[in-house]
Amino acid sequence: MRGGITYNLVVVRSSELSDTEVDAIFGALADATRRDIIVRVMRHEQSVSSLAAHYSMSFAAVQKHVAVLERASLIHKQRSGREQIVHAVPQSIAQARSLLDQWEELWRHRAAQMERILAEGELERSES
């Protein structure tokens, strides 16, 4: 039963978001500034400081908005020298990332099965 769920998740979840992920996304998008940030970084990646220049709030406040978007996997921050560059993360990538743990579990299972087959020896096997 567990395994069936694992495989279903690997297959089905690649086209669906979990409730928690949807909540995080809607929470993140429930703010006009954060929506504006998303639209800007979807057009092109940019640093937190160049984003901050568009708003009348403090740099720290903009950084907080960016952090909320990052927790919802909508954007990704990457350090480039002294700057933090903000990229939009398409949802397919966010989903692929969350599926990696499922793939890890599947490959561990595969390795265990392989070991089991090898342990049987080649008594009744004649192929080469």
Q: Binding residues for another protein, per CB under 8 A?
A: 1-4, 6-8, 10-11, 14-15, 25-26, 29-30, 32, 35, 38-39, 42, 74, 88-93, 96-97, 100-101, 103-104, 106-118, 122, 127-128
Measured in whole angstroms, the distance separating CA 87 from the mean position of its chain's CA atoms is 13
Minimum CB separation of residue 64 from another protein in Å reads 18
What the block records as the tokens of 100 is: 């990696």
How far, in Å, CA of 89 to CA of 76, rounded? 6
CB closer to another protein out of 4 and 60: 4
CB closer to another protein out of 62 and 102: 102
Among the listed residues 22, 44, 43, 35, the one whose alpha carbon sits nearest the alpha carbon of residue 91: 22
